[in-house]
Amino acid sequence: MTSLIPVDSDRFESMEQVANLRLTGMTDTAVAKELGLKRKVVIELWNEWKDALSKDTQARDAARDHLNQMVQHYDRLIKRYYDLLKDLQNETFGHQVAAQINSALKQIADLEAKRVDALQKAGLLDANDLGDELAEMEERQQILIDILRNDLCGNCRIVVAQRLQKVTHVVEATVVYDD
């Protein structure tokens, strides 16, 4: 891994080693054992590395670029799922189509939540923007839930109602007509 901060001393070299191991998912304790350092020193080095990185304008610009690319990627994925939903409306409705619709709706909600979370963690959404985005997302979710509750055939409605109940935590009423 190439260094984002200058490595011109033993301290910086240790900091870089700690950062590389932490970025692979290792805990402070595991890094300390791996490098033969005290856990306290590992924590100090990790915090120094993060601090140095946050003050590095080139690293911040690179991180901002990656964040923008990630948001665009989420936007493209969400659009594809909406296109899939549109295509599924043209299919003969059955258990398989209901499952695909349910899966696509869940993916849309998950991707939107992850996108908002990433932007919020990056500090790019203030409270007003976040509230607006969440309100818009809730409105779209209500529309999708309404479709699931009202626009399914009788057989699929029961299966979807059970799955929907897990998501909404609301007991879904289904009407079954005898022939």
Tell me, what's the pLDDT at 82? 92
Q: Between 39-55 and 28-35, two packed helices, what is the crossing angle to 10 degrees?
A: 110
- What does the pLDDT look like over 129-169, one tens digit per residue? 566 777 788 888 788 777 777 777 767 777 777 777 777 77
- Residue 2 pLDDT grade (very low, low, confident, very high; cuts 50, 70, 90): low
CA distance 78 to 177: 37
CA distance 135 to 141: 10
Averaged pLDDT for residues 75-87? 92
- What does the pLDDT look like over 8-57, one tens digit per residue? 578 888 888 888 888 778 889 999 999 999 999 999 998 888 888 777 77
Tell me, what's the pLDDT at 95? 86
Tell me, what's the pLDDT at 130? 61
CA distance 72 to 66: 10
- What does the pLDDT look like over 92-102, one tens digit per residue? 888 888 889 88
% of the chain at pLDDT higher than 70? 84
Tell me, what's the pLDDT at 174? 66
CA distance 90 to 43: 56
Bigger pLDDT: 59 vs 16: 16
CA distance 12 to 117: 32
Tell me, what's the pLDDT at 163? 77
Tell me, what's the pLDDT at 79? 93
Question: Residue 105 pLDDT more than 80?
Answer: yes
